[in-house]
Amino acid sequence: MLEQIEAVQRMQDYIEAHLEQDITPADLSRASLFSPWYSRRLFIKQLGLSPAEYIRKLRLSRSALRLRDEPCKIIEIAFDLGFKSVDGYQRAFQREFGCNPSEYAAHPIPIYLFTPYGVKFRHIERRMHMLDSKNIFIQVIDKPARKVIVKRGIHANDYWSYCEEVGCDVWGLLQSIKSISGEPICLWLPERYQLPQTSQYVQGAEVPLEYDDVIPNGLDIIELPASKYLMFQGEPFNEEDYCEAIELLQSAIEKYDPAVIHYQWDHDNPRIQLEPIGTRGYIELVPIK
């Protein structure tokens, strides 16, 4: 089983590295070290999509981010991302997101982007050792007054219980919203921001106070005041070690006393978790006053 998982992960890694190039079954076969037929079968078994479907969804989502953020022509995006014609790209975009690229570029509404979760992270066995790295970097930062578009759960108090209640697709939707912080965030909400029968843990996207655009169905918006945070950032880690990286940093937060820098914890503002990305280290922001 591990050999099969690693083969599919190698195909995912190859697709990520060559997304703007032609990707053939033979290319994926060489990456997986299995035959083209068996590689395709493994891919579908582990991810529920054929390689062609996976590549198409990923290219369309990357194209949507370019349309949202860059002043570029649709024809450039279509050919840059491997589509054979502009018409084919436009039809695929319409089927995937329910609007055509021109409409989206003019008015980027929230859409469900495809999030290519690595298959190896679904099968990680928890190891008992902690990471060798023990350096945690701490910095005081200021967050401006802002709004956050959030998707609430029911009882969730962490990422795993939230995904069980809400699913993982909401992250792709939040990624499509242009955030003032550059990425979606996870929050532990104080009681003042929780609605009856909703969760403490939510995922959301920070937007300016003047935001008055579309709020996707099933999401709502809260307003947060300007506040100070302590940003805790661990050292870079191997992606498969993300559980240990989170545990290490959260242990450091529990032991830290902000009084040493003349602050105290602020329990009226939400604690924030960023996506664990190995190349930058795991990050949490804890409010202080």
pLDDT in the model for residue 126: 44
Residue 129: pLDDT over 70: no
Same domain, 158 and 215: yes
pLDDT of 124 strictly over 60: no
CB 109 within 8 Å of CB 99: yes
The CATH number of whichever domain residue 8 belongs to comes to 1.10.10.60
Domain boundary among 88, 106, 124: 106
Cβ contact 219:255 at 8 Å: no
99 and 148 in a single domain? The answer is no
Q: Is residue 211 part of a domain?
A: yes
Instruction: Kindly report, residue by residue over 146-160, the tens digit of the pLDDT.
Output: 999 999 999 999 998
Amino acid, res. 228: K
Nearest to 125 by CA among 11, 10, 2, 238: 2
Structural domains of the chain, count? 2
Rounded mean pLDDT, 28-41: 94
Whether 131 is in a domain gets the answer no
The two tokens of residue 131 are 């990471």
Which run of H or E residues covers position 191?
Answer: none
Cα Rg of the chain (Å, integer):
21
Structure tokens at 105: 């570029």
Question: Is 80 exceeded by the pLDDT of residue 121?
Answer: no
Same domain, residue pair 275 and 195: yes
**Whole-number Å distance between alpha carbons of 47 and 5:** 10
| pLDDT single digits (tens) 217-262 | 999 999 999 999 999 999 998 887 888 899 999 999 999 999 999 9
User: How much is the pLDDT for 123?
Assistant: 57
Confidence at residue 52, expressed as pLDDT on a 0 to 100 scale = 95
Q: Which phi and psi angles does 251 have, rounded to 5°?
A: -65, -40
Same domain? 274 vs 193: yes
Predicted local confidence at residue 240, as pLDDT:
77
Shared domain for 102 and 141, answered yes or no, is no
From residue 83, alpha-carbon distances to 37, 121, 181 in Å are 24, 30, 31
pLDDT in tens, 20-33: 999 999 999 999 99
- pLDDT tier, 131 (very low <50, low <70, confident <90, very high otherwise): very low
- pLDDT at res. 241: 83
pLDDT tens for 63-111 read 999 999 998 899 999 999 989 899 999 999 999 999 999 999 999 999 9
pLDDT given for residue 72 in this prediction: 87
pLDDT tens digits for range 178-223: 999 999 999 999 999 999 999 999 999 999 999 988 899 999 999 9
**196 and 238 belong to one structural domain:** yes
Q: What token pair was written down for 172? A: 């792709």
Q: Does 156 share its domain with 231?
A: yes
pLDDT at 122: 67
Domain housing 76: 2-106
| 40 domain residue, yes or no | yes
Indicate whether 194 and 283 sit together in one domain: yes
Cα separation of 31 and 8, whole Å? 9
CATH of the domain at 176: 3.20.80.10
